Amino acid sequence: MNQTTKPWIDLRSDTVTLPGPAMRAAMHGAGVGDDVYGDDPSVNRLQDYAAELFGYEAALFAPSGTQTNLIALLVHCARGDEYLVGQEAHTYKYEGGGAAVLGSIQPQPIANQPDGSIALADIAAYIKPDDMHFARSRLLALENTIGGRVLGAEYMAAATSLAHARGLATHLDGARICNAAVKQGISLRAATAGFDTVSVCLSKGLGAPVGSLLCGPRAFIEQGKRWRKMLGGGMRQAGLLAAAGQHALEHNVERLADDHANAAALAQGLAQIAQIKVATPQTNIFYVDVPEAAVDALRAALTQADIKATVGKHTRLVTHLGVTAADVEHVVAVFTAFFKDWQAAT
């Protein structure tokens, strides 16, 4: 079987991207060493490159974004501290409660606004005064993009200034910060401005098979290295993976604009179908409301057409470097045909 071609169109997530021939060649040629000893030249190169690219003193390569976020929370917050975070945020909702389980860190979840932001007034109101009855408010954690929505640079500046003025540190879950930067036409440094630390996923739309980076001040990253080891994230000849990440950062950032264009085209095509309600994508992720009665049959029709998607009442569709403009046309055609028949049958 060809290792880089796909047997289906996969719209479930941008985590499904496969390394192409150029990335595989970079991995094949990577110099390696034992990274726990700091000896892996490819890991060291990637960490230095990322620190420079995102505008931080240092960076740390780890197996996953869940781990880089957890390391950040563990360094920012001690036992009995709390972090302010959106109800919809990955660090709160989708990381198994790791900060509470492993760090005795209390989350203070706050409702996200429809645009994905947390209202500045809510941030201000939830920061607790220094009082023995309360957990110590220590950190504001934001996410960009969140559910495919972009938090603009102006909002980020206001939110991080507010947090800093009240004595809180700031962490950005930037799993898809490159999508946010490309969408806004700003540099990666501008997109992370105001945040003391940022976590970046290499294994989403950037197309690397494995890995995330935590960027921050040098002393912070040194502490993070201890936590990474404790969490089992100290990897040995990890340069094979770092080389893929290096290739991803050097070659796959600007092309995210193609994924955004494909998402827009897909949404436009689907918006012609009367029975479904299609949100306008800002980046590569968007949602389609499907009538409940059509969900099971739609899922079956897509599977029949070799299209993978997370089908439900609130269907999530994600474009990425494994989805072409031709794929988009095919998906629109399959949806259109399905709803034509479904209309006729109901």
Residue closer to ligand PLP, measured from CB, 14 or 273: 14
Q: How far is the CB of 241 from ligand PLP (least distance, A)?
A: 13
Alpha carbons 205 and 148: distance in angstroms, whole number: 12
Min dist CB 301 to ligand PLP, Å, is 28
Phi, psi (deg, nearest 5) at residue 214:
-110, 125
Tell me whether residue 81 or residue 173 sits nearer to ligand PLP (CB atom): 173
Residue closest to ligand PLP, measured at CB: 65
Would you say 108 or 145 has its CB closer to ligand PLP? 145
Smaller CB separation from ligand PLP, 235 or 273: 235
Identity of the amino acid at 74: L
Among 306, 311, 151, 284, CA closest to 207: 284
Task: Tell the smallest beta-carbon distance from residue 67 to ligand PLP (Å).
Answer: 7
DSSP string across 149-207 = BPPPHHHHHHHHHHHHHTT-EEEEEETTHHHHHHHHT--HHHHHTT-SEEEEESSSTT-
Q: Which residues bind ligand PLP (CB under 6 A)?
A: 64-66, 69, 90, 143, 173, 175, 201, 203-204, 212
Judged by beta carbon, residue 66 or residue 117, the one nearer ligand PLP is: 66
Give the residue carrying structure tokens 């991080």: 160
- Do residues 244 and 29 lie in contact, with contact meaning Cβ atoms separated by under 8 Å? no
Tell me the two tokens of residue 141: 């954690």
Residue among 32 and 201 whose Cβ is closer to ligand PLP: 201
CB of 231 to ligand PLP, least distance (A): 12
With the CA atoms of 23, 25, 31 and 32 taken in that order, what torsion angle do they form, in degrees rounded to the nearest 10?
Answer: 60
Taking Cα atoms as reference points, which of 213, 170, 173 lies closest to residue 194? Answer: 170
Report residue 232 as tokens. 């089992």
Alpha carbons 247 and 207: distance in angstroms, whole number: 9
Is residue 169 a contact partner of residue 194, using CB atoms and an 8 Å limit? Answer: no
**In angstroms, what is the minimal distance from the CB of 24 to ligand PLP?**
21
Q: Dihedral, CA atoms, 202, 205, 209, 212, nearest 10 degrees?
A: 20
CA distances from 115 to 145, 220, 286, 308 (A): 10, 31, 13, 27
Q: What is the closest distance, in whole angstroms, from the C-beta atom of residue 94 to ligand PLP in the complex?
A: 7
204/299 with CB nearer ligand PLP: 204
Nearer to ligand PLP, 204 or 225 (CB): 204
Query: Cβ 37 to ligand PLP, closest distance in Å?
Result: 25
Nearest distance from residue 124's CB to ligand PLP, in Å? 24
